[in-house]
Amino acid sequence: MTDLRDLRQQLTPEGQQILEETVERKGEEWVREHADLVLAQARKVGMVE
């Protein structure tokens, strides 16, 4: 599983905000388990630094 801190560091500030909303909606465990999908979507929409 991916550490959420590492995931946050890879995102732009806007991407980090969306990540926080996703954590609130789906939970930290889901985000950790699906970090590859989260990053792929962030890359697609330009939210990766």
Residue 13: predicted pLDDT: 94
Render the chain in DSSP notation, one character per residue. Answer: ---HHHHHHTB-HHHHHHHHHHHHHH-HHHHHHTHHHHHHHHHHTT-B-
Q: Is the pLDDT of residue 1 over 70?
A: no
Q: What is the pLDDT of residue 26?
A: 96
What pLDDT was estimated at residue 3?
A: 86
For 7-39, the pLDDT digits (tens) are: 999 999 999 999 999 999 999 999 999 999 999
